[in-house]
C-alpha cells in the first residue's frame, strides 16, 4: 500500500517537474549587450540590451526615434520606427531586436523598455 502511494507521488513529481521545465525553457529569451554585439556582430536578427543616452531624436511626428544605446563601455546608434513604451526616455534600459546594417546603425524592429521601479533600491529612512 505504501509502495503504491510512493510510486504515485514519484510519477506526479516527475510530471510536474517536466511541465515546469518545459514552460520555463520555451519562454526564455536571451539578449546580448552592446559590447558583445560589437565584438561579435551577428548575421540576422539580434536582441540587444543597452541604456538610452541623452541624444534621443523623435522624427516623423514621433513615429520614428533615433538614439544611442550604451552598455559595458560600448555604444551603438539605434533607429526604431513604431510605438514607444510610455517610460521611454534617456537613462532607461531597453532591449531592441533587429539587425546592424552596413551603415553601422542598429535598425530595431522591436523596442522594449525595462521598468526602472523593479530595479531600484528602496530609500533608507533617515536616522
Architecture of domain 32-117: Beta Barrel (2.40)
Decide: helix, strand or coil at residue 14: helix
Tens digit of pLDDT at every position of the chain (127 positions): 777 787 777 777 777 766 666 665 555 557 888 888 888 877 788 899 999 999 999 998 878 999 999 988 899 999 999 998 889 999 999 999 999 888 889 999 999 998 765 545 555 666 6
**Distance from CA of residue 87 to its chain's centroid?**
15
Joined grid coordinates for residue 58: 523623435
| Greatest Cα-to-Cα distance within the chain, rounded to the nearest angstrom | 73
Cβ–Cβ < 8 Å for 106, 76: yes
Is this model's pTM higher than 0.85 or not? no
DSSP 43-89: SS-EEEEEEE-S--EEEGGGTEEEEEEEETTEEEEEEEESPPPTT-S
| Domain residue ranges of the chain, discontinuous segments joined by + | 1-29, 32-117
Burial class (CB in 10 A: 0-12, 13-18, 19+), 10: exposed
Joined grid coordinates for residue 112: 522594449
Amino acid at each position: 500500500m505504501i509502495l503504491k502511494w510512493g510510486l504515485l507521488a514519484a510519477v506526479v513529481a516527475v510530471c510536474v517537474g517536466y511541465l515546469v521545465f518545459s514552460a520555463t525553457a520555451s519562454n526564455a529569451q536571451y539578449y546580448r549587450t552592446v559590447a558583445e554585439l560589437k565584438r561579435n556582430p551577428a548575421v540576422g536578427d539580434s536582441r540587444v540590451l543597452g541604456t538610452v543616452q541623452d541624444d534621443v531624436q523623435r522624427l516623423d511626428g514621433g513615429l520614428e526615434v533615433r538614439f544611442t544605446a550604451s552598455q559595458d563601455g560600448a555604444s551603438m546608434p539605434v533607429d526604431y520606427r513604431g510605438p514607444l513604451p510610455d517610460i521611454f526616455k534617456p537613462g532607461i534600459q531597453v532591449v531592441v531586436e533587429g539587425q546592424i546594417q552596413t551603415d553601422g546603425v542598429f535598425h530595431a524592429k522591436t523596442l522594449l523598455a525595462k521598468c526602472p521601479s523593479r530595479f531600484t533600491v528602496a530609500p533608507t529612512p533617515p536616522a
